[in-house]
Amino acid sequence: MPERLARYHEELNEEQFAVATSAAGAALVIAGAGSGKTRAITYRVAYLVEQGVAPARIMLATFTNRAAREMLRRVEQLTGGAGDNVARRVCGGTFHRIANLILRRHATALGYEANYTILDSEDARDLLGICVDDAGVDTKARRFPKAEILRDIISFANNTDRPIPEVVARRYPHFEPLTQQIMRVDSVFMGRKRERNVMDYDDLLLNWKRLLMEKEEIARLYAEQFEHILVDEYQDTNKLQAEIVDLLGVTHRGVMVVGDDAQSIFAWRGAEWSNIYEFPKRYPEARQYRLESNYRSTPEILAVANVSIAANRKQFPKLLRAVRPSLGLAPALVPCHDADQQAAFVAARILELRDESVPLKEMAVLYRSHYHSLELQLELTRRGVPYSVRSGVRFFEQAHIKDVISYLRLVANPRDELAWKRVFRLIPNVGPATANRLWERLTFAPDPLALVLRGEADAVVSKRGNSWAEFRALLEALTTDEARANPARQIELILARGYEAHLAANYENAETRLEDLRQLAHYSTRYNSTAEFLSELALLSTERYGAPQPLTGEEVITGGDEDELLTLSSIHQAKGLEWRAIFIIWAADGKFPSPRSLRDAEGEEEERRLWYVALTRARDQLYLTYPLVVTDYSRQTVIQRPSRFVTEVPPELYEVWSLEEERAELPPALEAQDEPGGYLN
C-alpha cells in the first residue's frame, strides 16, 4: 500500500489527497469550480477498494449515469487486479438508476410486481390526461392546467416534500381555485399507476423512500450494506434525495457528500440548497475538506469571482487559487451605447479572436435569460457566424414566439395558410380538424381576414362558445390603423386578449415565455410597421442561404465546420462546462439579477451564485457587457446601470473598454459619469 499512496501523492494535490484517503465516517467536501472534484471522488473509490472495502458496500450517486460509468472505468484502471469487476459491483449511477435496482428486488413489498414498467415523461403526461377525465374535471367550465403543467405541479411537490396546495399557491397562483380538482387528479393518477403496475421517475424515489421508512427489515439490510455512500453534486440534490441518503447512512454514518454551495443554482426545479449548507447540522461529526486549487481560470478571472461570491452572507467561505500563471489579461468591462452596439461588439470581438487562432468552439456567450440573446442572434446571422444554442432552440423558433408572430403574419398577409392554421389551434376547443375546416372556408375568399371579421366563418365554429367571438374581437383590434403601424401594440393586444392565459395553462415556464414576448414587443418598437418587422425576422432564414428556407426547430445555423460553432447559452445550461473566452451579456441592473428572482429573501444570493458560475466558466478571457441606454415601450430612452454584481467588485480588477466610435452619441449625463477608476453607469 505505501507505493500506491506514493502514486496518489504524485497524481493528486494535497487537498485532493486528503479527500481520497479520508478515514471512514461522514465528510463534507466543498469543491470549488475547476478544482478537480471528479478526480478526488474517483481516487476515493479506488482507495476504499484498495483498503479492502468490498465494492458492493460502496454506493456512488451521480447526476448522470455517464459520469458514474466514467468514474468507475477510471477506478478499474487505478485498482488493477484488486478492482476486478469494480464497475459492475459498485452500486453506482443516478439516484433513479439505483432506486430501480433496489425496487426490482423488493417491488412486491410495496404492492407492485417486479416487472413494473417505468413511464417516461411523455407516457406520464398522457396518463395524466386520461386521469383528468377519470376524475370528472370539467375542463371546459374553467381553463384547467394541461397535463404537462399538472405533471410539473405533482413532480415538484413530490421532490420537495411539499403539499400540492402550497406548490400551487407559490408557483401557479392563477390555478389556486382549482387546487382541490388538481389533488383529485393526483389521487386518481397514483391509483391508476398502482393498478397498471407502472411507476414514473418520481415514483422510483418516492417508493425507495417508502421502502426505507416502512419496511424495517429491508431498510436495515441496505443501511448495513452501504458502508460508504458518496454523493456528487450534492448542492443540486432535492429534499427527497437527501432524505434517502440520510436513511441509508443511519448505521455507518459513512456519508461523503461533494459539491459547491456557491454553485447551487437550481432551486427553481426543486434543488434544496440547505441540503449542503445544513449538512454539518445533520452530521456534526463530519470532517470538512475544501478543494480550492483551480486548474481552469487565470488569476485575474478568479480575483473577480472570489470577490463576487464573497458578498453572499450564507455560504461556506472559500478562496479559489489559480494553478495557472497569469496571461496578463484582466476581465474586460465593456459598456455599450445600446443593445445593438452590444451585439455588434460581441460579434466583432468573436471574429477578432477567431483571427487570433481561438476557434469558435472555444468561445461562448452566456446570458441570464434566453431573450437576452435576441439582438445577438440577428447580428451573428447577418455576419455569417455559425452558432448553436444550448439554452433551447433559436429565439425566433420557440413555439410561443412563432404563435404570436403567426397573428402578425395573417394580418400582414391574410392568405398565409400556415399562420391561420397555427392561430386557429390556439383557440380553446378548436383542434386540427376544425382548424382545417375553417381554412377550407377561407381558401377561396379574396380577403380571408375580411370574411372572418364579417362573421362568415362563424357557422364552422358555432358550438365553440365565447372563444370564437373573443378571437374575432382580437382580429378587429389588430387590424385598426393604429395597431397595423405598431407591432409592439399588436403583441400587447395578443397577450392581453388570451395568449397570456394560454401560456399559463400550457407551459410550466409560462412566466419566462411571457418575458420573452414582452422583450419581443420591446424589440419591435424600432420598426415603423408590422410588415417591416416581419421582413427583418425573415432574414434569419433567407439572408445567408439563397432560396428562402422555412424556420425549423434545429439548434444549429448552417455554415462552417461542425466543430466550428460558437456557443450561445443560458448560464444554467452552461454549468459544468468551460471555454477559453466567455462573454456575459446584459450585465445590467434589472436584467441580471432577474427582477423576478428578487421576490424572496433567498433570491439575490442564488442570483449571485449564478453570476459566479458564469464567471468561472472562463479559462483565459472574460468580457462583461451591458448597454448604457435602452428604449422602453413608449420609445423613451432610459439610462441603464451596470449590474450590482459588477459594481460589487473593485474597479481596478477590470479593464474598462471604451467603444470610441459611439462616444459622440452618448447623452451628456452618461459622459459625465465616466470617471477614472469608476464605472460607466
Q: Give the CATH number, domain containing residue 6.
A: 3.40.50.300
DSSP state, residue 206 = H
81's CB contacts (< 8 A; 6+ apart) are: none
For 96: left if phi > 0, alpha if psi spans -120 to 50, otherwise beta; the answer is alpha
Tell me whether residue 584 is exposed, middle or buried, using C-beta atoms within 10 angstroms of its C-beta: 0 to 12, 13 to 18, 19 or more. Answer: buried
Nearest-angstrom CA–CA distance, 647 and 643: 7
Residues 232 and 91 in one domain: yes
Q: Is 137 helix (H, G, I), strand (E, B) or coil?
A: coil
Give the pLDDT band of residue 681 (cuts 50, 70, 90).
Answer: very low
Residue 362 lies in a domain: yes
525's CB contacts (< 8 A; 6+ apart) are: 488, 631, 633, 635
Residue 551 lies in a domain: no
Element (H, E) at 333: strand 332-336
Residues 359 and 409 in one domain: no
Whether the predicted pLDDT of 666 surpasses 50:
no
Element (H, E) at 18: helix 14-20
pLDDT per position as a tens digit, 575-590: 889 999 999 999 998 8
Grid coordinates given for 150: 399538472
Residues 244 and 354 in one domain: no
Residues 455 and 408 in one domain: yes
Domain termination site, one of 291, 311, 340: 291
536's CB contacts (< 8 A; 6+ apart) are: 378, 527
Residue 190 lies in a domain: yes
Domain termination site, one of 261, 291, 321: 291
Nearest-angstrom CA–CA distance, 154 and 167: 9
Q: What is residue 401's predicted lDDT score, i.e. its pLDDT?
A: 86
Whether the predicted pLDDT of 671 surpasses 50:
no
Q: What average pLDDT does the segment 380-404 reach?
A: 82
Residues 238 and 95 in one domain: yes
Q: What is residue 63's predicted lDDT score, i.e. its pLDDT?
A: 84
Whether the predicted pLDDT of 613 surpasses 90:
yes
The letter for the amino acid at 101 is: L
Residues 534 and 411 in one domain: yes
Residues 408 and 504 in one domain: yes
Given a contact cutoff of 8 angstroms between Cβ atoms, the answer to whether 435 and 421 are in contact is yes
Element (H, E) at 420: helix 417-424
35's CB contacts (< 8 A; 6+ apart) are: 15, 291, 292, 293, 294, 295, 320
Residues 432 and 532 in one domain: yes
- b (16+ CB within 10 A) / e for 488-513: bbbbbbbbebbbbebbbbbbbebebb
DSSP state, residue 58 = E
Give me the CATH number covering residue 427. 1.10.486.10
Residues 453 and 410 in one domain: yes
Task: Return the closest-CA partner of residue 498 out of 423, 411, 610, 583.
Answer: 423
Domain termination site, one of 138, 166, 196: 196
Domain that holds residue 144: 117-196
Q: What is residue 80's predicted lDDT score, i.e. its pLDDT?
A: 77
What is the 3 state secondary structure string of 214-235? HCHHHHHHHHHHCCEEEECCHH
The letter for the amino acid at 548 is: P
Residues 98 and 223 in one domain: yes
Grid coordinates given for 310: 464573497
Residue 320 lies in a domain: yes
pLDDT per position as a tens digit, 100-114: 889 989 999 998 888
CA distances to 243, 559, 656 from 620, rounded to whole Å, are: 40, 26, 17
Q: What average pLDDT does the segment 524-553 reach?
A: 56
Residue 383 lies in a domain: yes
Residues 535 and 416 in one domain: yes
Grid coordinates given for 293: 486549487
Grid coordinates given for 144: 384547467
Tell me whether residue 589 is exposed, middle or buried, using C-beta atoms within 10 angstroms of its C-beta: 0 to 12, 13 to 18, 19 or more. Answer: middle
Whether the predicted pLDDT of 662 surpasses 60:
no
Residue 548 lies in a domain: no
Residue 112 lies in a domain: no
Q: What is residue 670's predicted lDDT score, i.e. its pLDDT?
A: 33
Given a contact cutoff of 8 angstroms between Cβ atoms, the answer to whether 258 and 36 are in contact is no
Residues 88 and 166 in one domain: no
Nearest-angstrom CA–CA distance, 554 and 539: 16
For 590: left if phi > 0, alpha if psi spans -120 to 50, otherwise beta; the answer is left
Average pLDDT, whole number, for the chain? 85
Task: Return the closest-CA partner of residue 166 out of 149, 153, 185.
Answer: 153
Given a contact cutoff of 8 angstroms between Cβ atoms, the answer to whether 404 and 520 are in contact is yes
Domain count along the chain: 4
Lowest mean pLDDT among 532-536, 564-568, 620-624, 633-637: 633-637
CA distances to 335, 626, 640 from 673, rounded to whole Å, are: 12, 15, 12
Task: Return the closest-CA partner of residue 239 out of 199, 201, 209.
Answer: 209
Q: What is residue 588's predicted lDDT score, i.e. its pLDDT?
A: 93
